[in-house]
A and B are shown apart, each in its own frame.
Chain A
Amino acid sequence: MSSADLTSQRDLPPERKVSAKGDIAPEHDGPRDTGMDDAGLHRWLERTWRTPSGIVGALSSVDHKVIARRYLITAFVFLGLGGLNAVVMRIQLSGPQRGLIGPDLYNQLFTMHGVTMMFLFAVPIVQATGIYLVPLMVGTRNIAFPRLNAFSYWVYVSGGAFAWVSFALNMAPDVGWFAYVPLSGPEFAPGKRADVWAQMITYTEVSSLAVAVATIVTVFKQRAPGMSLDKIPLYVWAMLVTSFVVVFAMPAVMITSTFLILDRLVGTHIFNPAEGGDALLFQHLFWFFGHPEVYIIFLPATGMVSSIIPVFARRPTFGHLGLVLSLIAVGFLSFGLWVHHMFATGLPKLGASFFTASSMMIAIPNGVQIFCWLATLWDGRPVIRTPLLFVFGFFFIFVIGGLTGVMLASVPLDLQVHDTYFVVAHFHYVLIGGSVFPLLGAAYFWFPKVTGRMMSERLGRWHFWLAFIGFNAAFFPMHLVGLWGMPRRVYTYPAELGWGNINLFISAGALLFFLSFVLFTFNLVHGALKGTSAGNNPWDAGTLEWATSSPPPSYNFARIPIVTHIEPLWAEREALPVATGLRVDARELLISTVAEAHPDIREKSAAPSIWPLLAALAVGGTFLYSIFTPWAIVWGAAPIAITLIGWFWPKGDPEDEE
C-alpha cells in the first residue's frame, strides 16, 4: 500500500513553547495513524468516532450516516402519508359528484399532499442522500458542522410532526401548497390553518439551509487529497450546486411565510390591497423560491443518474465537464424563470415573453445532460439491473415532463393549460420522473452500501414495472383531462362534463402506483433482514464510497484515500494510495484546499452532543408557540439562547485555547 505521509514539516506539532508564565505548554499531540497496523487502527478509530451507547447517546449522535438514515426513514414515512392523501383524493375523484369526502377535508388533503411531498419528502430525502453519500464520496470522516446537521434533523422532524398533528386535529392548512393571499390572509382564512402552513415552511427551511451549509463546506474543504475540482464526482457536484440554490432560494420563501404570519398575527398589511399592500407580491416572492425548489429536487437526482449510468454502462460518464457546466447553468437559470408560474395574472406582454425565452433556455443545459447520458450508454449493451431500469424509466418519463414544460413556457399556450390537470400531469412527470425514479434507482444502487445487503433483483424488476405502468396510467391521461377543461384542486365535478371514465382510469393507475411502493417497502425490509451479503463494492463501481466496507464504519475510512482519477477505484485496481498523519485519539479531519484539494490543515470534528436536540426543541417550541402570539419570539428567545450557549460552550479543548 503506497502512502504519502502528511506529517510534513508544516503539519508537525508545534515546538514546545515557553509561555509568559514560564511553564511549558502541554504536549497536545496524541497517537497518529502513521505506521499503525489495521487492527489497532480500527480499535482506536472506532473508540474515537463511534456514536455513544444508550438512548442519550443515540440522541447525541453526530455521525452523518446515522443522521442520514434517520432522515431517509422519516422522509419515507412522510412519502407514505402523502401517498395515502393522494389515494383518498383519487377515490373521491374516481367518479363525478362522489360524496366520500367533502370540500373541507379534500382541501386539507391536497394541501397536505403538496406540502408533505415538497417540504417533508422531496427536499429532505435528496438532502439526506447527500448527507449520507457526500462525505463518503469525497473521502472524509464526517460531514462539516456535524452538530448543525443533527440539529437540522430534529428541526425537520418537529416541523413534520407539527404539520401532521395539526392534520389529525382537523386544523391542517387548506389553502394549497403555495397558499396564495388573500385566500390565506387574515380575512379569508380564519383559524390557525394558514398559520400552520406558514410556520411549517419555517421549520423545514431552517433545516434545509443548515444541511446546505454543511454540504457546501464539506465539498469545498474536506475533499480527499488529490480530488481537485475536475475529479469531483458528478453526484457531489450536483449536491454542491443544489446546496447553493437552497442558500439563495430558501430565504425568499421564509420571507414570504414570515410576511404572511405578520399579516395574520400582528396586522401588518403587506399583502392587503385595501391598505396599500399587494396580493401579487406574495406570488413573486413565493415563486422566486418555488421555481428553484423544483431544481433543488431535480438536480440531486441528476447526480444519482450520473452515478448509476457509468457503473452499468461500464465506462466513465461521457462529457463530464459538460455535465458539470450544465449543472451550474441550471442552478443559475433556475432563478430567472419564476414568472412562468404567473402568466395568467395579467403581466405586461413583453415582460411575460422574456420569461418564455428564459424558460425555454433552461431546456438547453438539461438537453446537454440528457445527450451526455445517452452518449455514455452508446458504448455497448449496458448491464441491465434494477437501478438502471429506474434510470431508463427516468428518461421515458422525465423527457415527457421536460417537453410539456417547454409547452408551458409559451405564454399563450400556458393560458389554456395553467391550473388544469395538464399542469398536474406535467409536474408529476417532472418530479416523479425526474426525481422519484432516480431516487428509487439510487435506493437499489446504494442500499448494499448502507446495509451491507443486496435487495432482491427479482422483486426489484416487478417493482419497476408496477411503478412504471402505474405511474403512466395515472398521470398520462391527466394531460388530456386538463385540455378538456378540468381545473386542478376541485373536490368534485359535474357528470355532464364527461370526465368520469377517464378519472376512473386515472384512479386505478394511481392505486397501482401506490401498490408499487408497498412492494418496494417489502423489498427494503426483506433486503435489510435477509438480503445476500454485498461486500464492499458489489457493482464494481468507481467512486470512493465503494472503497470502504458496507456498511461503512463510524469513521468511514481507516486511512484517508488519495484520489488520482475521476473514478479512483477503476484507476487503482490494486489498492488506493492513502494519506496518513491524522490523530486516532481525536476526531481529526483532513482539511484541503478548495480548488486543488491539497492537504492543508488538520481540524477537529465536533463530538456527539445532546445540545443540538435541545436547541431544536427550543426552536421548534418557539415556532409552534408563534402561531398563537407574537410574544413567542420574546419568550422563546430565552430557551434558544440557553441551548445555544450550552451547544457552543468552550470544551477546554487545548486547541481552542492556543
Chain B
Amino acid sequence: MAFAFCVLFLQGCAGWQSALDPKGPAAGELAWLIWFFTALCAVVWALVMIALAAPLVMRSRSGDEPLLLDEAAERGKMRVVVSAVGVTTIILIGLTLLSFFANRTLAAIGSEAALTIRVTGHQWWWEVRYEDATPSRILTTANEIHIPAGEPVRLLLTSTDVIHSFWIPSLAGKLDLIPGHMNVLDIKADKPGVYRGQCAEFCGAQHANMGTFIIAEPRPKFDAWLNDQLQPAGAPASGEAKVGADLFLKRPCVMCHRIGGTPAGGTVAPDLTHIASRQTLAAGTLTMSRGNLAAWIADPQGIKPGSHMPVVELSGDELNAVVAYLEGLK
C-alpha cells in the first residue's frame, strides 16, 4: 500500500527532507529500521485480516442456541489463541532488542567528532555557533549549517526561549532544544549536498517557517568557507550601499542584529555579517535575492506573520540603500 502511494505521489519520495531518502549513516540505519518494522507489521496485519475474514465464508450458526458450545472446538481455539499470544510476545521481544541495538549503533556514530557546533533555537530561527578553543575562531551565523562531508559532527542543542526540535530527516532523527538543557546530536553526511530540515516541536506562530539547512561540503571547501565567514563584513562597495550602512546603524536594525566589523552588535536576531552568502532568508522562508531582501525588510509581518522582526519605516530610496548594503555582505 505504501509502495502504491509512493508511485502515486512520486515527487515526495525523492525529497530533500525525507526520512526514506537517507544521506548519512544515522538516517540510513533508521530507514532500514523503518522498513523492517513496516514489513513485519504489514505481515501481522494481513494475518489478522485473514483471521477476521475467515468466518465470513463459514456456515451461519444464527439458528443455534447461543449458549450451546462445542467443548472440543473451544479447547482448540484456546490453543490457537495462546500460541498467537506467544508468537506476539516473541516478536515484541525481538523488536525491543532490535531497537536497543539500533540505538547503540546510532550512539557510536559521533564518538570521534572533531567539529562541535552549538545550535540555539529562537522563535523562529536558528543561531549557529562554531565552537573553537581560540576565541577569534568562534563563528556565529544563522539557519544554515555548513559541515565537512564524510566527517561526524557534534551538535550541541539548546534554546533560550521555548522548546524547538532540530530535525534533518535525511541525516538523523530529531532531538529537542530545551531551555535549561543541553542535548547532543551527532550527525554525519556521507556526500556533499544540501539537506533541508525544519523545527519539529510546535514553537508558536511561525513554527511552520523555521527551516534550516545542513550544507555538506568537501573538507577544503568547508575550511575555506569557515575562514571567509570569520572575516568581518566588507566595507560598502557603492555610494548607495554606504548610505544603506549608515541607515542600518541609525535605525532600529542595529538594536537586534550584529554585523561583524561595524558597531552593530545586537544578538537577539540573526547575525548578518555574511547574510548575502546564505541561500535563504528568514529561516528558509524566502530564497536569497535582492527582491526578497527588500520584501522581507518592507513587510516582515506579511511574509511571516507574528515574527519578531518589526516593520522599520523606510522610504523607497532608504529601503533600496539598505538592501544594496546587505546584498554586499557576502
Contacts and interface: CB of A to CB of B under 8 A. Distances in A.
A379 B92 contact: no
Given A364-B89, A382-B55, A483 B208 contact: no
Interface stretch (B9-17, B130-138, B260-268): B9-17
B113 interface: no
A407 B102 CA distance: 13
Interface string B1-21: 110011001011111111110
The CB with the most chain A CB atoms within 10 A, among B29, B102, B179, B197, is that of B179
Contacts, number: 297
A497 B123 CA distance: 22
A567 B65 CA distance: 12
Interface in B140-161: 157, 161
Given A395-B48, A406-B37, A489 B202 contact: yes
A443 B85 CA distance: 31
A423 to B, nearest CB: 10
Contact of B198 (A188, A315, A319, A487): A487
A176 B106 contact: no
B179 A415 contact: no
Nearest to B43: A403
B170 to A, nearest CB: 8
Given A182-B179, A279-B178, A318 B77 contact: yes
Given A182-B161, A489-B207, A410 B12 contact: no
Main secondary structure of the interface of A (DSSP, over half): helix
A370 B29 contact: no
A367 B179 contact: no
Interface residues of A, number: 98
B201 to A, nearest CB: 6
A57 interface: no
B100 A479 contact: no
Given A360-B96, A361-B92, A411-B103, A490 B52 contact: no
Contacts of B173: 344, 412, 414-416, 418
A476 B8 CA distance: 13
Interface in A352-389: 352-353, 356-357, 360-361, 363-364, 367-368, 370-372, 374-375, 377-383
Given A102-B305, A412-B29, A484 B15 contact: yes
B96 to A, nearest CB: 5
20 contacts: A183-B163, A310-B66, A344-B174, A364-B88, A375-B80, A378-B77, A379-B55, A379-B73, A399-B48, A407-B38, A410-B33, A412-B33, A417-B34, A418-B200, A484-B169, A485-B167, A494-B284, A498-B11, A501-B12, A502-B9
Interface of B: 1-2, 5-6, 9, 11-20, 27, 29-30, 33-34, 37-38, 41, 44-45, 48-49, 51-52, 54-62, 64, 66-67, 69, 73-74, 77-78, 80-81, 84-85, 88-89, 92-93, 95-96, 98-100, 102-103, 106-107, 123, 157, 161-163, 165, 167, 169-170, 172-176, 178-181, 183-184, 196-209, 211, 284, 305-306
The 8 lowest CB-CB distance pairs between A and B, nearest first, are A415-B173, A273-B180, A380-B61, A410-B99, A485-B17, A490-B208, A346-B183, A403-B41
